[in-house]
């Protein structure tokens, strides 16, 4: 007889509105212009999603130079430096920007502060596409990157009294609060965003993990190893007291030996992981245990973002 096990399912989890919109943009571009449609970088950080779009005719490339000028190109949900659409215009390419509107909001904040003569401090992860895209909105040297509280002590701004800060949208809420506190302590005049840059979906998924943490022996986060928001969910789980918190891309990645003896497992998914992968993990547990499912709901999301007008207009 199978051992009993309770699966606590986080809600919300998985796709956010920005990811949903980005995938829809690629699918609608394929419908409008036919294959191939080129996509600069992974449209979102999930191999399952990227492979599914590739099978429909999307071609994923690293740089715009890898795209022929006579085929449409889509820019990923993470955003791109201003030089990229400028290059597409110079090459007279058809391009569609799938940047998440919440990332675009941060871009606009940076541009506004720059126009007012402020140097920017960005809290983010070096090399992450969103950070590269956001820093690329302004001229070199106008954005100072910090990842940790220790980094705050090392930066040397042009004028400590003329600073503003922005953040990557997929960070840990708690870690970011500590860095912001350090920035305000060192630079009392620093200007912050009117509302927190960390997106609603990132915040909601982290809150759901915190709520389930006291009830579970282990946490599985379904997501990609290059997905910032998924990695943050693992960290949030560990910080909230989960003895075992692990990132898995698919059910096949579950380390069943590490779960030996557990009676309660939490399951969540990063913002770019589809619900099919959650069901796959649940089915894997059902094949081994007598599973009881319980929902841990901390928010209800009703956000929806429109796709660009060019995709809503008929092809010429």
Which of 89, 109, 130, 207 is an active site residue? 130
Identify the DSSP state of 307.
Answer: P
Residues sharing a CB contact under 8 Å with residue 250, sequence separation 6 or more, in sequence order: 48, 222, 277, 280, 281
For residue 101 the two structure tokens come to 């509107």
Q: How many CB atoms lie within 10 A of CB 200?
A: 18
Is 130 one of the annotated active-site residues of the chain?
Answer: yes
Strand 58-61 versus strand 37-40 pairing type: parallel
Mapping DSSP onto H, E and C, the string for 151-173 reads HHHHCCCCCCCCEEEEECCCCCH
Residue showing tokens 């429109």: 306
DSSP designation for 30: H
3-state secondary structure of 185: helix
From the list 67, 102, 109, 101, the residue with the least C-alpha distance to 85 is: 67
Q: Where are the alpha helices (DSSP H) in the chain?
A: 17-33, 47-56, 83-90, 101-115, 129-135, 149-154, 173-186, 200-212, 228-239, 275-286, 309-312
CA atoms of 32 and 72, how far apart (whole Å): 10
Q: Is 55 exposed, middle or buried, given 0-12, 13-18 or 19+ CB atoms closer than 10 A?
A: exposed
End-to-end CA separation in angstroms for the chain:
63
* DSSP-derived secondary structure letter, 65: G
Catalytic site residues?
A: 130
């Amino acid at each position: 007889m199978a051992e009993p096990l309770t699966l606590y399912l986080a809600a919300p989890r998985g796709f956010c509105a920005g990811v949903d919109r980005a995938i829809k943009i690629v699918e609608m571009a394929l419908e409008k212009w036919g294959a191939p449609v080129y996509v600069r970088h992974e449209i979102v950080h999930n191999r399952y999603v990227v492979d599914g779009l590739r099978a429909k005719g999307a071609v994923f490339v690293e740089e715009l130079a890898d795209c022929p000028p006579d085929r449409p190109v889509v820019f990923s949900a993470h955003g791109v430096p201003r030089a990229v659409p400028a290059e597409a215009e110079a090459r007279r390419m058809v391009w569609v920007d799938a940047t998440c509107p919440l990332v675009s909001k941060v871009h606009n904040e940076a541009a506004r502060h720059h126009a007012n003569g402020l140097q920017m401090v960005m809290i983010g992860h070096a090399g992450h596409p969103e950070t590269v895209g956001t820093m690329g909105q302004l001229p070199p040297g106008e954005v100072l990157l910090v990842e940790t509280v220790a980094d705050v002590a090392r930066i040397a701004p042009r004028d400590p009294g003329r600073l503003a800060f922005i953040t990557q949208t997929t960070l840990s809420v708690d870690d970011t609060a500590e860095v912001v506190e350090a920035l305000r302590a060192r630079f009392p005049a620093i200007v912050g965003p009117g509302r927190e840059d960390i997106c609603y979906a990132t915040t909601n998924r982290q809150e759901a993990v915190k709520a389930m943490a006291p009830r579970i022996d282990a946490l599985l986060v379904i997501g990609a190893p290059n997905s910032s928001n998924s990695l943050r969910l693992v960290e949030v789980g560990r910080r909230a007291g989960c003895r075992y918190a692990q990132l898995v891309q698919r059910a096949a990645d579950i380390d069943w030996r590490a779960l030996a003896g557990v009676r309660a497992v939490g399951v969540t998914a990063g913002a770019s992981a589809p619900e099919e992968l959650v069901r796959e993990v649940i089915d894997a547990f059902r094949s081994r245990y007598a599973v009881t499912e319980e929902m841990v709901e901390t928010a209800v999301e009703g956000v929806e973002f429109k796709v660009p007008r060019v995709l809503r207009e008929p092809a010429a």
